Amino acid sequence: MGWAEKTARKPTWCSRRGRRWRARHPEILALAPERNRLNRHRPSASPLLPLAGAPTSPSRLLFSPSPDLPHLPLSASLYPAQRPPSLLSPAVQRQRAMDQFHDRQHVWLRSRKRGRYLHADDDGVGVSLCKSRASMNAAWAVHLYLDDRDGIQYVLLQSAAYGRYLAGTDTSAPLGRCGFRVEQRNYDQTPQADAIRWQAVRAGLGVHRDDIMLRHVGTHFRYLRANGKFLRWIHRVTVDEYFNISSMMQWVVEPILPRQGMPRLPRPISERLPGDLSVVILGRAEAEWRTIPYVRAADDGSYRAEGADGLLHFMGRSVHRLREQLAPLLWGQFGVFDFIICLRPGREGRLTPLVLHLPRDGAIEIVVITDGTPGSAELRYPDVDA
């Protein structure tokens, strides 16, 4: 029996405890293949020495690296003196996980346990799991951020639907969910900006060796997790403490190929506008008004950070009516007729092309880019139907 199998069967007196131990120590099990390779090629003339203060009675020792070497405690077996530090160090393990994320690339994140995809809800705030991935709500743009304070690179996940970023909070999750709420937020350079920063950590073994866990930086190193392991109708996503590590925290990163050109806009939706029969006869409430500031970008895609070129008073969520009402304003001000509407998620957030209906809640800001300019060529669209 190999070293990995012995380690996986450490608590032999209770199978349930064994499964719990394996779930809580994925980083130890991930070291097994490299550790066995080092033992096979280690010269027998230079055996490892026991650690200072280690017990010498064979009955009290744990796993032996090989039959030709003296018995060592578990800590010495996992971290032998002759191992190359660059292979097994935690920094390298994090780097291998971060290598799956490339700046400005779009990805799907699939829960290994539930088989569902991370999904940005239509209200522009909530985050859940969805069975289908053929939607902009399930696509996330990678935004790599290098912190000047500590020199560590973080990954920010930006929704391809509404441009807002995946963020962890300190608000307790509702009953039936584990940990704390996860939501979509704008990106502003404030002390709360740490809420949208994540680090990827390797968590898989064997055929699942590329699985990752997303560690949240802003909430004391909690991990992104799916819910509904037993209550299957619960699809909300939360962050949970590191000591509650579980297979529900394992995620699969699936890259999305880019598509050429802007996708087709969705079908028009029915809304409760003034004069609608449901409003006049049934007395239902009308859709809410919102004030949308808009800015026109230069041909190279740059735009001013402060102020706005105009304000649009708009009712409802339809992206078609938004374009119809915005077109005469842009033609009168700038002589622009062919344009692309982008959402600006905060002062530091990257522009996201609006290809869906507006989110139900929250204020939005619009940046208009003239179609056919170098700035419009820099925009990327994920091919979610591939």
Q: pLDDT, tens digit, for every residue of 28-40?
A: 555 555 555 545 5
Summarize the confidence of residues 255-268 as an average pLDDT.
91
Instruction: Specify the pLDDT at position 150.
Output: 80
Q: Which of 75-89, 152-166, 182-196 has the highest mean pLDDT?
A: 152-166
Residue ending a domain, choose from 88, 105, 135: 88
- pLDDT recorded at residue 206: 65
Task: Report the pLDDT value the prediction gives residue 80, as an integer from 0 to 100.
Answer: 38
Tell me the CATH number at 221.
2.80.10.50
| pLDDT exceeds cutoff 90 at 118 | yes
213 and 106 belong to one structural domain:
yes
| pLDDT at residue 13 greater than cutoff 90 | no
Count of domains forming the chain:
3
The residue segments making up the domain with residue 249 are 92-256
Shared-domain flag, residues 195 and 79: no
How many percent of the chain have pLDDT more than 70?
70
- Of 81-85, 93-97, 136-140, 372-376, the range with the lowest mean pLDDT is 81-85
Please tell me whether residues 126 and 233 are part of one structural domain.
Answer: yes
C-alpha angle 112-183-366 in degrees, rounded to nearest 5: 120
Nearest by Cα to 323 from 310, 301, 339 = 339
Same domain? For 32 and 131 the reply is no
Classify residue 301: in a domain, yes or no: yes
pLDDT > 90 in the chain, percent: 50
Mean pLDDT of 44-65: 39
Same domain, yes or no: 127 and 169 = yes
Q: Is residue 261 part of a domain?
A: no
- The sign one gets for the Cα dihedral 372, 375, 377, 381 is negative
As a whole number, mean pLDDT of residues 337-361 equals 93
Which H or E run includes 374? helix 374-377
Assess if residue 267 is contained within a domain.
no
Type and span of the H or E element at 245: none
pLDDT at 88 over 50: no
Judge if 75 and 155 occupy the same domain.
no
Residue of 36 and 365 predicted with greater confidence: 365
Alpha carbons within 13 angstroms on the beta-carbon side of residue 208 total: 16
Instruction: State both tokens at 380.
Output: 């990327």
For residues 159 and 204, which has the higher predicted lDDT (pLDDT)?
159
Q: Are 271 and 318 in contact (CB under 8 A)?
A: yes
306 lies in some domain: yes
Give the per-residue pLDDT at 316: 85
Higher pLDDT, 276 or 167: 167
Tokens at 63, concatenated: 């796993």
pLDDT digits (tens, 9 = 90+) for 131-153: 999 999 999 999 999 988 888 89
Q: Would the CA dihedral through 262, 267, 271, 273 be positive or negative?
A: positive
Query: Do 341 and 368 fall into the same domain?
Result: yes
Give a yes or no: residue 80 inside a domain.
yes
Long-range contacts of 25-31 (CB under 8 A, 24+ apart): 26/203, 26/204, 26/205, 26/213, 26/245, 27/90, 27/93, 27/201, 27/202, 27/203, 28/78, 29/4, 29/205, 30/93, 30/202, 30/203, 30/204, 30/205, 30/209, 31/78, 31/88
